[in-house]
A and B are shown apart, each in its own frame.
Chain A
Amino acid sequence: MEMNFAGLLLMRQELLLAVTILIILIVDMATADHKKHQVIHLALLLFGAVTVAGFLPSTSGSLFGGMYNATPMLTMMKNILNVALLVVLLQSVKWLLKDENHHKASEYFILLFSTLIGMDYMISSGDFLMFYIGLELATIPATVLVAFEKTRNTSAEAGIKFIFSSALSSGILLMGLSIIYGTSGSIYFADVQSAFGNSKLHLLGFIFFISGMGFKISLVPFHFWAADVYEGAPVNITAYLSVISKGAAVFILTILLYKVFSNLKETWETLLYVLSVSTMTIANLFAIRQNNLKRFMAFSSIAQAGFILLGIMGADGAGMTAVVYFMLVYVFTNLAAFGVISSISHESGNETISSYNGLYRTNPLLSLTMMLALFSLAGIPPVAGFFGKFFLFTAAASRGYYILVLIAVLNATISLYYYLRVIKAMFIDHNDQPIAWFKSDVFTRISLLFCIFGVFLTGFFGMVYEYIFRLS
């Protein structure tokens, strides 16, 4: 298709984001330092509009000779990321308004939107070049964001760790891609798909590729960067990494495995089997020992990635639906938890589980939100996490992996243990000096309310699942 107006419409999410970035840049230059909060409000408004625009009816098509693809399913994935980013932005307003961050608020938005453009292109990519450019665009600004609180040692340290491990993983990934290119003679997904077989060199390239992606999704044994980076990064960036970064990587992995490496299905099913067992088990065992909530959520989200692999293994229709549906549920769930963590962190600076002791007596609503989020993460009905996990397991069981499902459900039971530890702290443990009562800012409250609605409704309303099913 030529690059005409219809083509522009296909690419509207990326283009609108680019325009938003430009507007913020220009407005920022024209705004005095003490009026920066206006930039924040403008950015929220603009991004809200972009998110809404994403939900307008869309068509399928491809641009640039197949480099860029758009289908309703891909648009849905981008929409999920948009919604997640909107929630993260709402939760970070209070933090951005602090004196030390006030002057660099616009950078925060520009960097975040750049990564989102990268992810959108990555999801829509039709060849490995586009895929790789999108991946880098999504990663490099993220390292800056991790080091955003530059006056804090841990943040700077996390930034360095993140850029090193990202560079390493990109290198490994690129190695895989070059072998794939060398053996198949093309970088276009369609050509690679038909040229790919089970030869040794193909497998080698594929294994490099999976390892590189394993870093991005933080699968065990490629997860070592995650806990330190999550702990050091500003709490909203931790939320961003654990939901949006990870979500985009999961989406693209699913697409590539189904679309490009379908001839290697038996190989990658075995690989994912091993990876998911090790990811769930090891992350769960580590999560039990954490006291810092950000580290805790790091291991929790690694474990969740292990569960997602089960869904990917249920190839053909049900697998894709289960993964996308789970990510939608996961966005609401994890961001509800992070909303509480960030709200408390911004208010009182507390980020440990033991500091939450007795929280229910002083802040009942935040505690209840946290409890619902944790139950949803653990997969307890009636909240959406139950349905999300159930469909992931169903997808794996549909391919006959019953033992894997058993391992996964037992792991979910272990995860319940550490989620209950936080609930125990909030509801059961006594504390002489609990975190005092406070009122969260209006943006955080909106975001939490939105997440709670999502956590309840995405599960109960079967049509959400059916809608995603029809798209795939």
Chain B
Amino acid sequence: MSILWFFILIPVLTITGILFTKDGRSARVVAASGMLVQLILSVVLLFMYYAQRHAGNTAEMLFLSDYSWFPSLNIRFTTGVDGIAVSMILLTSTVVFAGIFASWEMENLAREFFISLITLATGVFGFFISIDLFTMFLFYELAVIPMYLLIGIWGSGPKEYSAMKLTLMLMGGSALLLVGLLGIYFNSTLENGQHTFNLLQIAELQLPVGVQRYFFPFTFVGFGVLGALFPLHTWSPDGHASAPTAVSMLHAGVLMKLGGYGCFRVAMYLMPTAANEMAWIFIILTTVSVVYGAFGAIWQKDLKYINAYSSVSHCGLVIFALLMMNKTSMNGAVIQMISHGLMTALFFALIGMIYGRTHTRMINEMGGLMKVIPFLSVAYVIAGLASLGLPGLSGFVAEMTVFAGAFQHPDTFHRIATIVVTTSIVVTAVYILRVVGVLLLGPLKNDHFEHLRDARWYERLSAGTLLVAIAGIGIAPLWLSNLIGGSLGPYVTRLAGAITGLNF
């Protein structure tokens, strides 16, 4: 039994605990304590990981454990983590923890809400600890399906439409993914004649180029749907806008990262030649994503839609950076995943808290909130500044690394794409500063807003946790960057070694 199994076990125990509670009040306490243990465990994992690395363990994946599940098909439950997975696990437990407190006042079917939310989290944790395509796929689907209930039951606005659209589009994506995974499985035969789903073994076997060309699009696009790859991103704004606060946080903050992480760890790592050959298609698509998302955000008046489009833009940047395929940019991509995860979770948490007070999310109906709810307003400003890339906060570190990496490509195609993507920073600044100006500054637009209460303790705890993480990354970026960079070696070598001379 490895420490990683606890990342599944604790959420499952928490769910079981919630089943035995009588009402929502005790359910939320159980949920919060379970996720607190999970957060502590993540930190423990981080230090154990460091200890192993300092002791000179240079294996690609640490804490390996292997359990044979369906021996005749050689399907196993194999777990292991590298620096990237550890940082994603930390991100997830932080966001889940903050999410529980952001939904502290949930009254309608609270037990069911927390059970669904933690089921989703179980899927995410399971995905990040797996290094086996079968269990990855299983946990991926497990993470997607509770979204339907979470949005459909506890959402707002056109929730049924959004929930159905989100679920079907993501499941359609996983249809492509399944074909890709089966293709990989049947084309990687071990010496004993069995096929394998194990990432490390498949990587060693080197898939034939023909196979890569056939199955790379399936796998990449399959994961890309969850990573809001243009033009398959349309589920994202509707879904995020309709979802309840904690679900938007978890979904935009963590679940969309599954897409980028999968693109990188499965599609690009296992099929490097095809990745190099087809990168240009996806670079164009992600460039569109980044710019389109940013402009989309300008047009919106609903706070949640603004943030949802901004997520499309930022997640596009993640995949864009991955496709640049050098160490700097890939490092930036992972930092961007984490930075965006924290930022967007903070945004959605604050939007939920503001909405809970003003009962509107339309920016033109609000104004001058800084005077009445200073804590929430200041937190909003900080999140905004992180989002537009102010030095000292996490967004700057991420974007700077991405662009520095992207500019290492000397050819025209990459240069143009990079320059176009860079312009999104300006657009981001426009919509962030506009929202801050209209929403928080200026005179109070509505007399009812005068008596609004500022954040309660649980709201402060929720936002505070995320703020600390954002500032932490901004102040000490090397710490995270070394954690990730140390594990990028095999990826960079494989991708660079597979360049076939197809250049632009």
A interface residue numbers (CB < 8 A to B): 318, 321, 375, 380-382, 386, 390-391, 393-394, 397-398, 400, 402, 405-406, 409-410, 412-413, 416-417, 420, 423-424, 427-428, 462, 465-466, 469
Chain B nearest CB from A318 CB (Å) reads 8
CB of B94 to closest CB in A, whole Å: 25
Partner of A402, one of B69, B167, B168, B182: B182
Known contacts being A394-B73, A423-B148, is A413 close to B171, with CB within 8 Å?
yes
A318 to B172, CA, bound (A): 26
Question: Which chain B positions have C-beta within 8 A of A393?
Answer: 178, 182
Q: How many angstroms from the CA of A406 to the CA of B68 in the assembled complex?
A: 27
Interchain CB contact under 8 A, B186 and A466: no
Contact at A465–B70, with CB atoms within 8 Å? Answer: yes
B293 at the interface (CB under 8 A from A): no
Are A428 and B182 CB-contacts (below 8 A) given A394-B73, A413-B172, A462-B70?
Answer: no
Say yes or no: B142 contacts A409, CB within 8 Å. no
Q: Flag if B182 contacts A381 (CB, 8 Å).
A: no
* Residue among B145, B153, B174 with most chain A CB within 10 A: B145
B141 within 8 A of A: yes
How long is the Cα–Cα vector from A413 to B178 in the complex, in angstroms? Answer: 12
Asked if B179 lies at the interface with its beta carbon under 8 angstroms from chain A, I say yes
Those of B135-177 within 8 Å (CB) of chain A: 138-139, 141-142, 145, 148-149, 152-153, 159-160, 164, 167-168, 171-172, 174-176
Q: Is the CB of B412 closer than 8 A to any CB of chain A?
A: no
A417 touching B182, Cβ below 8 Å: no
In the bound complex, residues from chain A placing their C-beta under 8 Å from that of B142 are 380-382
The residue on A at minimum CB distance from B109 is A360
Contact present for A420 and B164 (CB under 8 Å) = yes
Residues of B with C-beta under 8 A to A380: 141-142, 145
A406 and B175 in contact (CB under 8 A), knowing A413-B168, A417-B168, A427-B153? yes
Contact yes or no, A381 B164, CB < 8 A: no
Q: Report the minimum CB–CB distance from A385 to chain B (whole Å).
A: 11
In the assembled complex, B72 has its CB within 8 A of some CB on chain A: yes
20 CB contacts below 8 A, A to B, read A318-B73, A375-B145, A381-B142, A391-B73, A406-B175, A406-B176, A409-B178, A412-B171, A413-B168, A413-B172, A417-B168, A420-B148, A423-B149, A427-B149, A428-B153, A462-B68, A462-B69, A462-B75, A466-B71, A469-B72
Residues of A within 8 A of B168 (CB): 413, 416-417
Q: Given the known A-B contacts A386-B138, A417-B164, A428-B153, are A402 and B179 also in contact in the complex, defined by CB atoms under 8 Å?
A: yes
- The verdict on B183 contacting chain A, using a C-beta distance below 8 Å, is yes
How far is it, in angstroms, between the C-alpha of A216 and the C-alpha of B185 when the chains are bound? 35
Q: Are A394 and B182 in contact (CB under 8 A)?
A: yes
Contact partners of A406 in chain B: CB under 8 A: 175-176, 179, 218
What separation, in Å, do the CA atoms of A223 and B146 have in the docked complex? Answer: 34
Interface residues of B in 345-373 (CB under 8 A from A): none
- Alpha-carbon distance between A319 and B187 when the two chains are bound, in angstroms: 18
Hey, which chain B residues are within 8 Å of A417, CB to CB?
Answer: 164, 168
Q: Please give, as numbers and ranges, the residues of chain A lying within 8 Å of B71 by CB-CB distance.
A: 462, 466
Do the beta carbons of A397 and B182 come within 8 Å of each other? yes
Contacts of B185 in A (CB 8 A): 394, 397
The CA-CA distance from A394 to B179 in the complex, in Å, is 9
Give, as a whole number of angstroms, the nearest-CB distance from B231 to chain A: 18
Contacts of B167 in A (CB 8 A): 416, 420
CB neighbours of B164 from chain A (8 A): 417, 420, 424
> How long is the Cα–Cα vector from A45 to B167 in the complex, in angstroms?
45
Residues of B within 8 A of A394 (CB): 73, 182, 185
Chain B: minimal CB distance from A16 (Å): 32
A469: B residues at CB distance < 8 A = 72
Chain A min CB distance to B136 (Å): 11
Chain B contacts for A402, CB-based, 8 A: 179, 182-183, 214
Q: Is the CB of B152 within 8 A of A397?
A: no
- Nearest residue (CB) in A for B195 is A398
Q: Besides the contacts A386-B138, A406-B176, what 6 more A-B pairs have beta carbons closer than 8 Å? A: A390-B178, A412-B171, A412-B175, A428-B152, A462-B71, A466-B71
Whether B70 contacts A397 by the Cβ 8 Å rule is no
Q: Which residue of B141, B160, B174 is within 8 Å of A428 (Cβ)? A: B160
Docked-complex contact B152 and A427, CB < 8 angstroms: yes
- Contacts of A462 on B, CB cut-off 8 Å? 68-71, 75
B138 contacts A381, CB within 8 Å? Answer: yes
Q: A409 and B179: CB pair below 8 A?
A: yes
A382 in contact with B138 (CB, 8 Å): yes
Q: How far is the CB of A425 from chain B (nearest CB, A)?
A: 11
- Which B residues from 168 to 216 make CB contacts under 8 A with A? 168, 171-172, 174-176, 178-179, 182-183, 185-186, 214
- Complex CA–CA separation, A309 to B176 (angstroms): 20
- Taking a contact as CB atoms under 8 Å apart, the answer to whether A386 and B160 are in contact is no
Q: What's the least CB distance linking A435 to chain B, in Å?
A: 18
Q: Is the CB of A410 within 8 A of B172?
A: yes
Please give me the 9 A-B residue pairs with the lowest Cβ-Cβ distance, nearest first.
Answer: A409-B175, A397-B182, A469-B72, A413-B171, A462-B70, A462-B69, A428-B152, A381-B138, A406-B179
Query: Which residues of chain A have C-beta atoms less than 8 A from B153's C-beta?
Result: 427-428
- Tell me the complex Cα distance, A61–B71, Å: 29
Distance, CA A462 to CA B67, complexed state (A): 11
Q: Once bound together, how far apart are the Cα atoms of A416 and B172, in whole Å? A: 10
- Supposing A413-B171, A413-B172, A427-B153 touch, asked if A466 and B138 sit within 8 A by C-beta, the answer is no
Tell me how far the C-beta of A393 lies from the nearest C-beta in chain B, rounded to whole angstroms: 7
Interface centre among A375, A391, A465, by most B CB within 10 Å? A465
State A405–B171 Cα separation when bound (angstroms). 14
| B68 contact set on A, CB distance < 8 A | 462
For A472, give the chain B residue with the smallest CB separation: B72
Contact (A424, B145) CB under 8 Å given A386-B138, A413-B171, A416-B168:
no
**A residues within 8 A CB of B171?**
412-413, 416
Distance of A416 Cα from B167 Cα, bound (Å): 9
CA distance A409 to B185 in the complex (A): 17
Bound: A99/B92 CA distance, A:
59
Question: In the complex, which residue of chain B has the Cβ closest to the Cβ of A413?
Answer: B171
Interface residues of B in 59-73 (CB under 8 A from A): 68-73
Q: Is the CB of A381 within 8 A of B160?
A: no
* Contact in complex: A398, B70 (CB < 8 Å): no
Q: How far is the CB of B27 from chain A (nearest CB, A)?
A: 15
A423–B146 Cα distance when bound, in Å, is: 12
Chain B residue, CB-CB nearest to A409: B175
Q: Chain A: which residue is nearest B68 at the CB level?
A: A462
Which A residue sits closest to B175, measured CB to CB? A409
- CA A409 to CA B138, docked complex, whole Å: 14
Q: A381-B141, A417-B168 are in contact. Are A410 and B175 (CB under 8 A)?
A: yes
Q: A321 to chain B: which residues have CB within 8 Å?
A: 72
Contacts of A390 in B (CB 8 A): 134, 178
Contact partner of B186 among A386, A398, A423, CB < 8 A? A398
Q: Is the CB of A386 within 8 A of B72?
A: no
- Binary A-proximity of B40-83 (CB < 8 A = 1, otherwise 0): 00000000000000000000000000001111110100000000
Q: Which residues of B (119-146) have their CB < 8 Å from a CB of A?
A: 134, 138-139, 141-142, 145
Contacts of B72 in A (CB 8 A): 321, 465-466, 469
Q: How far apart are the CA atoms of A420 and B183 in the complex, in Å?
A: 29
Write the nearest CB–CB distance from A244 to chain B, whole angstroms: 27
B145 partner residues in chain A, CB cutoff 8 A: 375, 380
On chain A, the residues within 8 Å of B141 by CB distance are 380-381, 386
User: Which B residues are CB-close (under 8 A) to A391?
Assistant: 73
CB distance from B463 to the nearest CB of A (A): 30
In the complex, residue of chain B having the shortest beta-carbon distance to the beta carbon of A361: B109
What's the nearest-Cβ distance from chain B to residue A89, in Å?
31
Bound complex: CA A405 to CA B69 (Å)? 23
In-complex Cβ contact of A424 among B152, B176, B178 (8 A): B152
Question: What are the interface flags for B70-112 relative to A under an 8 Å C-beta threshold, 1 for contact and 0 otherwise?
Answer: 1111010000000000000000000000000000000000000
Complex contact B179–A405 (CB within 8 A): yes
| Chain A residues, Cβ within 8 Å of B160 | 424, 428
Residues of A within 8 A of B73 (CB): 318, 391, 394
| A342–B318 alpha-carbon span in the complex (Å) | 51
| Residues of A close to B75: CB separation below 8 A | 462
